């Protein structure tokens, strides 16, 4: 695609980035402030005596490193399982007509329509029945429930945008459905798959209330619980929370920086690559 008004685009992008990062910059600055400087009236932007003590505390004196590992396993597991279920389901909805399709597609969303407050107790009972309380597998399943519906729905949209003719041609050439899925649909839908992957991972990464109730052991607890552990009944170690939030956020941003290359500019580049 030709460059169009590059400067204008950059200015626009700059404004958007500034608006997005403004609170984040405030958090980053807070994470290197001393306790005395965190709460002043009027507030101060730049710390007079920047300190890394919050990071030292988070990395060496808290459960954050262990919880980081737990979060990686759980978020990756949940993402993987959600995709394994979602891709075929989305393909089924996008490519075939069958009786009750609309009802079934709506019912995929059913779990999202109940507030967390309503499902937390029964879900606890289900997990206990399955013997999955306090396990990675339990949280992975719970997060799969959370993320699967969106994955299916969004992928239906992405798959429908892929011309069906490509698949027809392959089938006429004698390829099986699964070969078609793997060799044609998957590569063409890759941007969409990456988008829902990022979504699933981030959702599982940040979820608090289910993790709080279903993971009682520090071998399973996740990062958001680690953030809550910097608070006591009447106090919060805000500098540490901010430092831990940085440690939680930046790896995901970097991960996306690498992955965003799949978003090119249009289908042709995607099709020729696949």
Instruction: Rule CB under 8 A: choose which of 46, 48, 61, 96 binds other proteins.
Output: 96
Least separation in angstroms between CB 50 and other proteins:
17
Instruction: Rule CB under 8 A: choose which of 47, 53, 177, 186 binds other proteins.
Output: 177
Residues 6+ apart with CB under 8 A from 16: none
Least separation in angstroms between CB 52 and other proteins:
19
Phi, psi torsion values for 230, nearest 5 degrees? -85, 5
In the shown chain, the binding pattern of residues 244 to 263 toward other proteins, with x for contact by CB under 8 A and - for none, equals -x--xx--xxx-xx--xxxx
Instruction: Rule CB under 8 A: choose which of 52, 65, 109, 182 binds other proteins.
Output: 109
| 26 lies in the binding site for other proteins (CB under 8 A) | yes
Instruction: Rule CB under 8 A: choose which of 54, 135, 147, 200 binds other proteins.
Output: 135
| 80 lies in the binding site for other proteins (CB under 8 A) | no
Instruction: Rule CB under 8 A: choose which of 56, 65, 112, 182 binds other proteins.
Output: 112
Tokens coding 94: 């996008």
Q: Tokens 């991960």 belong to which residue?
A: 255
- Residues of span 48-67 touching other proteins by CB under 8 A: none
Instruction: Rule CB under 8 A: choose which of 32, 58, 78, 108 binds other proteins.
Output: 108
- Residues of span 187-226 touching other proteins by CB under 8 A: 187-188, 191-192, 194-195, 198-199, 202, 205-206, 208-209, 212-213, 216-220, 223-225
| 73 lies in the binding site for other proteins (CB under 8 A) | yes
- Residues of span 155-174 touching other proteins by CB under 8 A: 156-158, 160-166, 168-171, 173
Least separation in angstroms between CB 143 and other proteins:
11
Q: Is 243:38 a contact under the CB 8 Å cutoff?
A: no
| 178 lies in the binding site for other proteins (CB under 8 A) | no
| 125 lies in the binding site for other proteins (CB under 8 A) | yes
Least separation in angstroms between CB 34 and other proteins:
9
Least separation in angstroms between CB 37 and other proteins:
10
Tokens coding 145: 């429930």
Residue placing its CB nearer to other proteins in the complex, 59 or 88: 88
Interface with other proteins (CB under 8 A), residue total 159
Angle in degrees, 0-180, between the axes of helices 6-31 and 238-259, rounded to the nearest 10: 150
């Amino acid at each position: 695609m030709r460059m169009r008004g590059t400067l204008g685009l950059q200015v626009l992008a700059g404004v958007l980035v500034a608006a997005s990062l403004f609170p984040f910059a405030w958090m980053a600055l807070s994470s290197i402030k001393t306790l005395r400087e965190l709460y002043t009236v009027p507030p101060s932007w730049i710390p007079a005596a920047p300190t890394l003590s919050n990071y030292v505390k988070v990395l060496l004196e808290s459960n954050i490193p262990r919880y980081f590992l737990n979060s990686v396993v759980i978020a990756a597991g949940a993402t993987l399982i959600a995709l394994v279920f979602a891709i075929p389901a989305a393909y089924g909805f996008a490519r075939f007509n069958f009786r009750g399709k609309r009802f079934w597609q709506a019912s995929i969303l059913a779990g999202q329509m109940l507030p967390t407050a309503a499902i937390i107790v029964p879900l606890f009972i289900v997990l206990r029945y399955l013997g999955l309380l306090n396990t990675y597998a339990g949280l992975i399943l719970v997060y799969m429930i959370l993320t699967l519906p969106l994955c299916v729905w969004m992928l239906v949209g992405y798959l429908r945008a892929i011309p069906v003719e490509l698949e027809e041609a392959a089938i006429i050439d004698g390829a099986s459905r699964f070969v078609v899925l793997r060799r044609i649909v998957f590569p063409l839908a890759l941007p969409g798959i990456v988008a829902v992957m990022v979504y699933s991972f981030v959702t599982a990464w940040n979820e608090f209330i289910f993790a709080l109730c279903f993971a009682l052991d520090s071998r399973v607890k996740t990062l958001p619980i680690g953030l809550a552990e910097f608070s006591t009944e009447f106090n919060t170690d805000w500098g540490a929370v901010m430092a831990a939030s940085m440690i939680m956020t930046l790896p995901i941003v970097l991960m996306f920086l690498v992955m965003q290359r799949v978003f090119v500019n249009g289908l042709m580049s995607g099709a020729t690559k696949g």
